[in-house]
Homo-oligomer: A and B are copies of this chain.
Amino acid sequence: MTTHLPAASAQVSPRGRPRDASRDRALMDATLAELQRHGYSGLTTASVAKRAGVSTATLYRRWRSKQDLVVGAAQAWAENLGPDHDTGSLEEDLGALLHDKALALEGPSGRLLRAVLGEAAHNRALADVLFDAFVLPLQDRVFALLERAVARGEIPPVEDPLVVAEMVIGPMVSHTFLVPEREADTPAPGRDIATRLLPYLLRALGHRRP
C-alpha cells in the first residue's frame, strides 16, 4: 500500500518548475516511509532524497524545507477519502462515508496522519494542513449527507453537525490507532468498527427506520 499514488500529487508542488510525476511520487513515498520509521524529528531531507533516488538539489527545487516536504506529503496522502455518495438513504450515505474513512485510515493516509500527529502539537503549519486535508473534507461530507437526510424527512434537524462529524471520524481514529493487533480479531479493524458504529450513529441522529 505504500506505493499507492496520491491522486493529486501533480497539484501539490509549491514551485513553478516542470514536473516529473514519477519523481514526485517517489518523493512522497519516501517521505511517508521515513516519517513512519523515524518520526518528524528524525526525518532528514537527505534521507528522503536518498530513498527516493534523487539528489537533495532536486528535492529542494520542489520543496524548500523539511517542513514544506512533510506538509506537501500530508496534502498528497490525505486525498483518498473519495467523493461524496448520494444514494438517497442516510443509512447508505453514512455507511459509505464510514467505509471510505476506514479504508483511508488503514492505508497510507492513516499512516501519515499517525506519524505526524505528535509534531502537529507544536507545528502550526502542519496542524493547519492536517485540519484542512483530513478533517474539513470529512466534515463537508457529513454536513452534506445530514442536510439531504433532513430534507428527505429521515431525521429531525441536526443541532450540532460538528459533533456528528467528530462521532464519525473519532471512533475510527481511536480504534485504528489505539487497538493493538493482539486485541483486534480482524485484519480490517477500521472497517469492522465502521459497520458496528452505523446503527449507533443512526440512533444518535434520531433516524426513523423505514
Contacts and interface: CB of A to CB of B under 8 A. Distances in A.
Interface of A: 35-42, 111, 114-122, 124, 127-128, 130-131, 134-135, 160, 162-164, 166-167, 169-175, 177-183, 193, 196-197, 200-201, 203-206
B128 A200 contact: no
A39 B203 contact: no
Given A41-B41, A175-B166, A111 B115 contact: no
Contact of A171 (B116, B130, B167, B203): B167
24 contacts: A37-B41, A39-B119, A41-B42, A111-B121, A114-B117, A114-B118, A114-B121, A115-B118, A117-B118, A120-B177, A127-B181, A163-B193, A163-B196, A163-B200, A166-B170, A166-B193, A167-B170, A167-B171, A170-B172, A170-B173, A170-B175, A173-B173, A201-B204, A203-B206
Contacts of A124: 180
Contacts of A201: 204
Contact of A116 (B111, B118, B163, B197): B118
Given A118-B114, A121-B36, A121-B115, A174 B170 contact: yes
A137 to B, nearest CB: 12
